[in-house]
Structure 1
């Protein structure tokens, strides 16, 4: 054995060790985001130990030159032994050998972990079931990426998988980008890719000439990745919060209520801070939903007008002698990214906003035409109708020709909805008392508020059937309470709609301008029904058991002051309709009007969509850009005298167009195949073959065998010829998604398509 062969094998062993350590570092970097979702505990140590044990077993097995299948089987054996000893030893033989009882104990652990993830609040407490899931997943990931990197030699593909795993916690519990964690992951992946490249290099290659382009490429890729993560990621639309008494995945508001959705509650955060001159903190509405189709309450598609125009919110129109109270509420957005602005109802003016905002006269809500609610501080003036009990009992719930969508029932509405509505309201003789009877029935103790019941009891279906099942089970969250109330009221011929917004906040010890500051958290996102009354407008009700404040009006004798007495009248009260622009709930829909964001009528701000489209195009261009950087690096190295770099240019071109590049084929045989089957130039390939053969057998450091720029020019010509001979579809893919980024010459995946000529 020559000294060169010995040094080559020693270098390969050293390269595999460095590559294994680089892979371990990348796995640990991907594990860091999990600590945002699960409190650090035994699972962290277990995951690190198992990943280390699996990779160490693979490294030792390869030292004995075992086949790839045997290496993976040994790693799997290490995984089974570790998981059995740590989590299931009480069911195993000698604490290590699994038994049938061991396999029977796995499903309950897995189910309990999934349940804790589904219904828990982040960060989750460390629990054996969660540790079992996390540690086991980390071990399986280590086995997979070890095979992909050290056997298949596809580090970029493994890096994509590792990055995808690291993104799962960020999707579950969105926060601001953790720059340090991302940089650590980026450095670990770049180190992994470079370690894999170095492990394939021969020790006699001229490292000094090759190293010039590598750091520049690595820095360029790292800079692009950091810019995308830190700058571009916040421009993407925020994942939405599901209404219904609990959070979905993100600090926003989803105005589409799906009855079949179960509610997940990540870490609770403060979203708003509110203070008001009213006697108590008000409900804050975001938008209303009148159309119920396919099990989904959808936002109203109605006209919008500029907030500061005279056709904006306007004054409140009520019947004669109906008292109106004016309140002023100040809102500071702490952590809420939404186009829907939380406002008290019925708002007549909103001031202090930055950016372009529009009013929706139909439901007195405010939406953004550019930007979001994040960072806004504003003041809402609301004129609240205060009819007496005697007045509200005289008014009908209906009105002249309201919109069909506020009174329509789904086709084939289950009988239980109609029958229970009639049964519960049988003793009432006016619309208001019927609604109060419904409200009292829902809140009277027969129903239980539960975020888990819809999933556990299996009525996470859609449509009115879900409401019917809720009325049978009598457990659910506010979406079910509000939907059942609204549909039951519609069965009594009353117009109803659903409101999405926030419950009143919790009083804090802070006081500003003699007003108590209330804190509104993300868990207070809520849905409640409204019913339209003549001479009053839309009146909110609160049927959800155990939440909010139930609706009730007082007799005239108990109301303070005389509404006709100017000394006691509320400033801004409008006891009768006026000729000024008002928020008429019966206003027709005009297709020419500006529509709400996300509705099909147009007029929405196109900039966010354009930004997303540009970002998608940028991401699609990344493979081309990285491939171009690599090609330029190899070209520069080839012109500097590195024949191996020029030869790699030709091999990469062959892989890109689907030509096999096996490790068992000599350069001269490979070149002859390119000439015979793929239309390459014999002269150019002869120059390339002479260059690589001379470099392979030349003494170390000798330059007498260097062909100058001829080898690099020949490699460039061969690449152009192979692309020209390939089918058009293959040629396009070779440019925009080159396979050579993830498939290396000589690897087990360097197979090819049939010959192109």
Structure 2
């Protein structure tokens, strides 16, 4: 004699039940694949992943129709996976295009290595390559095999749902982005549909099967509703994941898309670089530049590169003959930065000591990886820095030899406030340099505040033209807003400009190497600043961000002491502070050309509180779901459903790791609970009679005990089991109830370890 669950499990499923389950499972897998589009550009890999998942699931469905064992089904699915991957990606190495050979096996690690290198070093969205497609498509197929076994064979859809949701979260962690509500809703609906189809695929011997079956879908709906609320409402309050869009590997990264706000707002900061230099102060370090602006985003420059060790790399600095050029050496030691760009001082003419394949970008004198990353690197930069006098730079024009250069482009629909303010602020200047200094002084002079929070609250955490217009009206923002506004205003004045992404100079850590102080650069010093091109001089950096860095100032030739450098560019910056924005009414605050520490703003406790609340909510969700299910079972039991009362006891046993095997009859199970675990005999006997009558007696004879008596007996037995278990097992049963994912009579319920009474 078997339990109700065992009877239903042993009978064949309804015709079409497994087909519906296979379709629902495919829909859930496709939902998990949608977020990957943010990481990799859509291409043939998308169709290949869906096709492979479909073939695997169909193969499993057909194999089960022939009543093959579960192991045989999984082996057939694995064979389909291997044949598909071989035919599509490694056909030239295989026998008859589908049968793998030793050469095929040797080619797999190489493809995997290339794919991982592209992920670690690439910037999202990644371009479609054979190696990346191989990794994504193959992973999708393996995931299909695993979840097919978990759902259709082991009948644990909740466990499969956890795996599918985890896979769908990986792209969101790799590429921080606002919640994609449609994609998340699709995923939630697909998972809930999977749970519902799996439940309906089971035939029940009881007359009130609809009432009984409603428990699982209702529980799933409750969990799904809570998950959607958390994702849509609470997630935006949490700090972004630790890996930014510019890098996927270990350590911090560099986001070259000007989405630096999330990186700068992280409460934790780590040391990313150590720098020492022969110059009098630590330099700014650039990673890359952004010249193309389409009105919405600034795009990193994609220009010609040459191998760094080819002898044709960076080349000498070309300036007018009467401009002094000073030579410096800077040593950079990377401590915690995984990036495809190597931060270098400007203008670099030689970089030595990098391991791996690196290329130079002559256009902006930056260094980019062709194979490898900056993590753990130590290298030396030789810099030739032009030092014009004030008179010399005032006599130069800020213009480019190429009138079609993209550093002059402006969008057609740019807000008029940008150009109007540029003209207004520079009205009294008579040359290009003085106009740029007037802009720099205006931004740093007290009218603007440095703020990491105000832009987000007011909805312009970006660098597009509309965001810049809002920034100029509100006059609060961080480096991205200052740099974007300065660059666009310079272009409205017919000056070529671009934006640099890199790091502010660090602060001394007290160490001295080769008589040079060592500067520590933290992740919080990730920065963006503008540059303007001067004819016969080159690109000149400016520092408009209020309260950060050192503004650009060139000195008159007559004021320079004997042997001193007749000019200055953005240089060292003091230790960052957290004392809040500069008060424009405080005369003691540094202004204009005085260096001041970066004002990070007061610490916002909301992210930390949100993290704690989010963790507590996640930890409480299993217990809440268990409580909801118990209330549903109790309601059904009070309505006369003895099977629901029996399930309360089975779930309690599973939560406490007490075996509930499919081969054991209800009577044997009841006797074991009384003999080995000391449950009350009278309550257990009454519950046993109720479930046996409900399962096998004629309909009119089933109602033996009153519904309240059955329910009370079930909870009395449950309470006895809980009180008799060790305290650690009791806590685990409350915090992580196994019965949410383990079914009575399944192989996982039968294999649990025996719990001893205290």
TM-score, normalising length: structure 2: 0.61
Shift of 1:186: 0.7
**Any idea what SS the aligned residue of 1:514 has?**
helix
Distance 1:270 1:151, change over 3 A: closer
How many residue pairs get matched? 532
- In the other structure, the counterpart of 2:237 is 235
Q: 1:228 to 1:441 in 2, by over 3 A?
A: closer
Mapping for residues 677-716 of structure 1, pairs under 5 Å: 677-699=676-698, 703-705=702-704, 707-716=706-715
Name the counterpart of 1:58.
Answer: 60
1:45 CA drift (Å): 1.6
| Partners of 1:523 and 1:112 in 2: CA distance | 31
Separation in structure 2 between the aligned mates of residue 609 and residue 738 of structure 1, nearest angstrom = 28
2:37 maps to what in 1?
35
The alpha carbon displacement at 1:460 in A equals 2.6
Change in Cα spacing, 1:541 to 1:614, as seen in structure 2 (3 Å) is closer
Q: Distance in 1 between matches of 2:272 and 2:132?
A: 36
Alignment pair present for 1:629 and 2:533: no
Q: Which residue of 1 aligns with 2:375?
A: 460
The CA distance in 2 between the partners of 1:731 and 1:530, in whole Å, is 53
Distance 1:237 1:271 in 2: 13
* Conservation of the 8 A alpha-carbon contact between 2:112 and 2:135: yes
- Residues 142-177 of structure 1 show CA distances to partners (whole Å, capped at 9, x for unaligned) of 111112222222221111110010011112222221
Q: Which blocks of at least 5 consecutive residues in structure 1 are unaligned?
A: 250-257, 273-284, 298-332, 337-423, 425-431, 475-480, 485-503, 533-539, 560-578, 598-602
Whether contact under 8 Å (2:238, 2:607) holds in the other structure is yes
Map of 1:740 onto structure 2: 739
1:514 aligned to 2:420?
yes
CA positional deviation for 1:104: 1.9
- 1:234 shift after superposition: 0.4
- 2:541 is aligned with 1:549: yes
Aligned to 1:348: none
Separation in 2, partners of 1:294, 1:85: 44
CA shift in 2, pair 1:181/1:203, >3 Å: farther
CA distance in 1, matches of 2:8, 2:70: 23
| 1:193-592 superposed matches below 5 A | 193-210=195-212, 213=215, 216-239=218-241, 247=246, 263=253, 268=257, 295=273, 437-438=328-329, 443=347, 445-447=349-351, 448=360, 456=371, 460-461=375-376, 466-467=377-378, 469-471=379-381, 508-509=410-411, 510=414, 511-512=416-417, 514-515=420-421, 518=484, 524-529=500-505, 549=541, 553=554, 555-556=556-557, 580-583=587-590
RMSD, matched Cα: 4.8
Tell me, in whole angstroms, the C-alpha distance in 1 between the residues paired with 2:731 and 2:9. 42
1:756 maps to 756
Q: Secondary structure at the match of 1:526?
A: strand
State how far apart, in whole Å, the 2-side matches of 1:90 and 1:529 are: 53
The residue that corresponds to 1:104 in the other structure is 106
Q: Which residue of 2 aligns with 1:382?
A: none
- 1:143 maps to which of 141, 145, 158: 145
- Is the contact made by 1:641 and 1:706 (CA closer than 8 Å) also made in structure 2? no
Moved more, 507-516 or 636-645: 507-516
Unaligned segments of structure 2, at least 5 residues: 1-6, 276-294, 299-315, 317-322, 331-343, 352-359, 386-405, 423-464, 466-483, 489-497, 509-528, 532-536, 543-551, 561-585
Tell me the distance in 1 between the aligned counterparts of 2:84 and 2:646: 45
Secondary structure of the residue that 1:525 maps to in structure 2?
strand
Corresponding residue to 2:119 among 117, 126, 139: 117
2:40 counterpart SS class:
coil
Does residue 617 in structure 1 map to residue 616 in structure 2? yes
In the alignment, what sits opposite 2:46? 44
CA contact (8 A) 1:691 1:707 kept: no
Asked whether the 8 Å contact 2:22–2:57 carries over to 1, the reply is yes
**How far apart are 1:702 and its partner, in Å?**
6.3
Offset from partner CA, 1:5-35 (integer Å, 9 cap, x none): 9998453554333322221111111111112
CA deviations on 1:184-242 (whole Å, 9 max, x unpaired) are 11111112222333334425441343355555434322221111010000010123687
Q: Tell me if the contact between 1:270 and 1:335 (Cα under 8 Å) persists in the aligned partners.
A: no
Q: 1:247 to 1:87 in 2, by over 3 A?
A: closer
**Residues 1:149 and 1:97: Cα distance change in structure 2 (over 3 Å):** same
Q: Is the 8 A contact 1:8 1:203 kept in 2?
A: no
Task: Pick closer, same or farther for the CA change 1:458–1:721 going to 2, 3 Å.
Answer: same
1:120 and 1:265 in contact (8 A); partners too:
no
The aligned residue for residue 537 of structure 1 is: none
State the alpha-carbon separation in 2 of the partners of residues 104 and 547 from structure 1: 49
State the alpha-carbon separation in 2 of the partners of residues 181 and 541 from structure 1. 37
The change in CA–CA distance for 1:128 and 1:531 in structure 2 (over 3 A counts) is: closer
Contact 2:590 2:596 in 1 (8 A): no
Say whether the 8 Å CA contact 2:27–2:190 is kept in structure 1.
yes
Q: SS of the counterpart of 1:712? A: helix
Secondary structure of 1:190 counterpart: helix
Q: How does 1:603-614 map to 2 (within 5 A)?
A: 604-614=603-613
Distance of aligned partners of 1:62 and 1:457 in 2 relative to their CA distance in 1, 3 Å threshold:
closer
Q: Please give the secondary structure, in 2, of the residue aligned with 1:445.
A: strand
Distance 1:154 1:436 in 2: 68
Q: Within 2, Cα distance between the matches of 1:109 and 1:209?
A: 52
Pair 1:167-2:169 in alignment: yes
Deviation at 1:530, TM superposition (A): 8.1
1 CA distance for matches of 2:374 and 2:500? 24
Distance 1:164 1:137 in 2: 14
C-alpha distance in 1, partners of 2:50/2:243? Answer: 34
Whole-Å Cα distance in 2 between the matches of residues 624 and 453 of structure 1?
A: 50
Closer, same or farther: CA 65–296 of 1 in aligned 2, 3 Å: farther
| 2:410 counterpart SS class | strand
Q: Is the 8 A contact 1:50 1:82 kept in 2?
A: yes
**Corresponding residue of 1:346:** none
For residues 55-113 of structure 1, the C-alpha deviation after alignment (integer angstroms, 9 at most, x for no partner) is 12222222333322222111111110111111111111111111111112222322222
